[in-house]
Structure 1
Amino acid sequence: MLAEEAAICRCLVCQDYGDRDRLDDIDAKLVDDIGETGWGVLAIPEDDTSAGWAFTVGLWHTYRSPEIATFGLEPDVMMRCLNAVGDHIAAGRTPAADDELDEILSGDYRVTLRSVDEGWRKVFFGTSMGFYRATPTVPFLQLLWPDRNGRYPGDEKFTERYEHLQPRLWLPHNEHPPGPWTEQV
């Protein structure tokens, strides 16, 4: 992506597409949240196919920081974690892939961030695509939480019972281990 393209934001807030009056309640609240705090968080509940997930919308618009997504925890916990990362970003700390962060999860647990392969964006972050409209590709990072031994999905000896809760979005779809997340595509 060219540097000039990265600086351009053609999102719902920056450009009037003539449809703001037709936003549903969720999108209208999202736009209000972005105007108030700089970002919003959307949570997708768990269903019969997969664990739930949550993601930010607006961090790229406001701070030119990647949007952040997390999976497999209770919705309120995921939203609290993403808002904590948003607070870090608002304070001037832009996250990058492979960063480890503390003070996001309660206790002494550290989280880590991984780049999200572009092929997953449409599957999991459609609302983001709708918000950003014609903006060139907006980057996403996945926030991973550890097992009790501090290991993350993809690490050797990561606790097997947690494997299905967090996809490995840094992998292209065709390289991801089969499971509930690959059924989403």
Structure 2
Amino acid sequence: MELPDFHIPHAEKIEWMIETDGWALEPVSPRADTDPPLPAYAYTIGLPALLGFPELVVFGLTPVTSRGLIGLVVDAVRGGTEIPLEVELVGLLENELRCAFAPVDIDTHGAFFETARSWYRGGEFSMLQMIYPDRNGFMPYETGYEQRMRLAQPVVGTFGSS
């Protein structure tokens, strides 16, 4: 017995996620063939239309973890929370861990977001990097940040001394 082919064109998957949840998550697999290697990352498509909030990118997490973390932000913004940019925020993550939202220059880093660029048909869109601490609470731009995490969470957004 042959199984049916469930292959759906990628654009239709994005459209289905947006119709279902109001936004889509685009996970990108890590690449070891680049210098430096590119970690796994995931970004949103659809937040500006849903919330009037920029798209979000998170580096170094699994797609499920990224979706959960971004879901926290989406729920907070939906609930009326204002998310400040380029400052550390306490209270969004558990255990009073800090996080930050840093604007990403699409002209410089647009290659990270090919599906979003296609979705927006080459039009402009804004992207924020959600920066999160290592397990010891250090942010990537701080002395003490876990060295092995530096490749997992590159800071591509503009924030502080980055």
With the length of structure 2 as denominator, give the TM-score of the two structures.
0.78
Alpha-carbon distance change, 91 to 26 in structure 1, aligned in 2, over 3 angstroms: farther
Asked if 2 retains the 8 angstrom alpha-carbon contact of 1:39 and 1:86, the reply is no
Map of 1:70 onto structure 2 = 58
1:147-185 per-position Cα deviation (integer Å, ceiling 9, x unaligned): 1332211222222121111122125xxxx8xxxxxxxxx
Distance in 1, Cα, partners of 2:31 & 2:80: 36
The answer to whether structure 1 residue 152 and structure 2 residue 139 are counterparts is yes
Match for 2:20 among 36, 42, 45?
Answer: 36
Structure 1 residues 1-185: aligned runs within 5 Å? 25-48=9-32, 49-99=37-87, 100=89, 102-104=91-93, 107-133=95-121, 135=123, 137-171=124-158
Q: What do you get for the CA RMSD once the two structures are aligned?
A: 2.4
1:17-42 per-position Cα deviation (integer Å, ceiling 9, x unaligned): xxxxxxx5332121122123221111
Aligned residue identity for 2:134: D
Higher helix share: 1
Alpha-carbon distance change, 45 to 96 in structure 1, aligned in 2, over 3 angstroms: same
Alpha-carbon distance change, 92 to 28 in structure 1, aligned in 2, over 3 angstroms: farther
Deviation at 1:72, TM superposition (A): 0.6
Paired-residue identity, %: 24
Deviation at 1:51, TM superposition (A): 1.3
Alpha-carbon distance change, 94 to 41 in structure 1, aligned in 2, over 3 angstroms: farther
Can you give the 5+ residue segments of structure 2 that lack an aligned partner in the other structure?
Answer: 1-7
Distance in 2, Cα, partners of 1:131 & 1:122: 13
Deviation at 1:74, TM superposition (A): 2.0
Aligned residue identity for 1:157: G
Distance in 2, Cα, partners of 1:134 & 1:118: 11
Distance in 2, Cα, partners of 1:42 & 1:94: 24
Distance in 2, Cα, partners of 1:38 & 1:121: 25
Number of equivalenced pairs: 148
Distance in 2, Cα, partners of 1:69 & 1:101: 19
What secondary structure sits across from 1:157 in the alignment? coil
Can you give the 5+ residue segments of structure 1 that lack an aligned partner in the other structure?
Answer: 1-23, 177-185
Asked if 2 retains the 8 angstrom alpha-carbon contact of 1:97 and 1:113, the reply is yes
Asked if 2 retains the 8 angstrom alpha-carbon contact of 1:41 and 1:54, the reply is yes
Deviation at 1:97, TM superposition (A): 1.6
What secondary structure sits across from 1:167 in the alignment? coil
Asked if 1 retains the 8 angstrom alpha-carbon contact of 2:109 and 2:156, the reply is no
Deviation at 1:53, TM superposition (A): 0.2
Distance in 1, Cα, partners of 2:62 & 2:90: 19
